[in-house]
């Protein structure tokens, strides 16, 4: 069983954290991952920076741009992650846009991911149908789970389709927005969370976009299995560096 699937069976709400590899400094990647695991984070999304991240808001765009300026590239990320499984055991998901993977060669990319111990992908601009028709077999050959997004505008039929081709969790985008665009959840979002919960999908849902602190984490996980934080964590890294990651995680989990 894949580490993601195992983790989803834990009897608790899961916290997943996103960061851009190569940010704030080029060689912070491994340090950030270790600190996140030691602080009690359940899953990590490692962002492979891209020049044109069109589903992301300003915070993640800026961290991507900075990471690229720092010199981050695909092969270097694999080098940094080479020994990661000697010290880190939580699921690691690679999040990135499709073009860098395509240029590396999809099969070679998957092979490398399996070798360093990546468990799955979130690829915002790889549509479910294209994945299913062209890449599913390759991803599966290397034990990689692909995670799909749904939004408040996704039709019920499409949610059912995405559920049928998913094998881990469904990334539930909290509202119609790019990343980091809003703060707090109103009744519209609560209704949406409840509506999806009542669909009794086979895959658990993890909520992303708009979670920044203990309050929003609690709201997001009332119905869902977990929540993902990206922009708020990157802001924390920008302001406080990598040394105080535990403070951020404690805050989100309500451990004061």
Partner 1 sequence: MSYHVNKKGYYGQFGGAFIPEMLYPNIEELRQKYLSIMAEPDFKTEFEQLLKEYVGRPTPLYFAKRFSEKYNTKIYFKREDLCHTGAHKVNNTIGQILMAKRLGKTRIIAETGAGQHGVATATVCALAGLECIVYMGEIDIARQAPNVARMKMLGAEVRPAMSGSRTLKDATNEAIRDWINHPEDTHYIIGSAVGPHPYPDMVARFQSVVSEEIKWQLNAAEGTENPDYVVACVGGGSNAAGAYYHFLNDERVGLIAVEAAGKGVDTGESAATSILGKEGIIHGSKTLLMQTKDGQITEPYSISAGLDYPGVGPMHAHLYTTKRAEFVPVTDDDAMTAGLTLSQLEGIIPAIETAHAFAIFENRTFKPNDIVVVCLSGRGDKDLNTYIDYFKL
Selecting among 56, 62, 79, 129, the annotated active-site residue is: 56
Query: Toward partner 1, which CB reaches closer, 191 or 247?
Result: 191
Question: Which of 90, 82, 101 is CA-nearest to residue 30?
Answer: 82
Determine the interface stretch with partner 1 among 6-14, 35-43, 45-53, 217-225 (rule: CB under 8 A). 45-53
Residue 79 interacting with partner 1 (CB under 8 A): no
CB–CB of 75/27 below 8 Å? Answer: no
What six digits make up the tokens of 200? 């009794």
Q: Going residue by residue from 86 to 125, which x/- string records binding to partner 1, judged by CB under 8 A?
A: -----------xxxxxxxx-------------------xx
The residues near 79 (Cβ < 8 Å, ≥ 6 apart) are none
Would you count residue 138 as binding partner 1 (CB under 8 A)? Answer: no
Task: Give yes or no: 79 in active site.
Answer: no
Which region, judged by CB under 8 A, interacts with partner 1, from 11-19, 68-76, 211-219, 243-251?
68-76
Residue 24, CB-side half-sphere exposure with 13 Å CA sphere: 12
Give yes or no: 56 in active site.
Answer: yes
CA-to-CA dists, residue 158 to 18, 146, 162, angstroms: 26, 16, 6
Structure tokens belonging to residue 142 = 């290397």
Contact positions toward partner 1, by CB under 8 A?
50-58, 61, 65, 68, 73-75, 97-104, 124-128, 130, 148-151, 153-155, 158, 173, 176-178, 181
């Amino acid at each position: 069983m894949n580490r993601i699937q195992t983790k989803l069976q834990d009897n608790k709400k899961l916290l997943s954290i996103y960061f851009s590899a190569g940010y704030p400094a080029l060689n912070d990647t491994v340090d950030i991952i270790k600190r996140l695991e030691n602080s009690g984070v359940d899953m990590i999304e490692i962002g492979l920076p891209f020049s044109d991240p069109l589903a992301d808001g300003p915070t993640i765009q800026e961290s991507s741009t900075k990471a690229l300026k720092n010199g981050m590239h695909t092969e270097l990320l694999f080098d940094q992650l080479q020994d990661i499984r000697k010290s880190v055991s939580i699921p690691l998901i690679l999040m990135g846009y499709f073009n860098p993977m395509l240029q590396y060669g999809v099969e070679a990319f998957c092979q490398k991911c399996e070798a360093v111990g990546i468990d799955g992908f979130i690829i915002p601009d790889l549509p479910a149908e294209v994945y299913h028709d062209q890449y599913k077999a390759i991803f599966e050959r290397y034990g990689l789970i692909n995670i799909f997004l749904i939004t408040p505008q996704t039709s019920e039929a499409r949610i059912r389709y995405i559920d049928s081709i998913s094998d881990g969790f469904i990334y539930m985008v909290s509202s119609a927005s790019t990343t980091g665009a809003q703060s707090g959840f109103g009744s519209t979002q609560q209704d949406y969370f409840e509506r999806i919960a009542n669909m009794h999908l086979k895959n658990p849902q993890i909520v992303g976009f708009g979670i920044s602190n203990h309050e929003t984490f609690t709201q997001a996980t009332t119905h869902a299995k977990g929540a993902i934080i990206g922009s708020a964590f990157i802001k924390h890294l920008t302001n406080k560096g990598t040394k105080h990651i535990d403070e951020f995680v404690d805050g989100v989990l309500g451990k004061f």
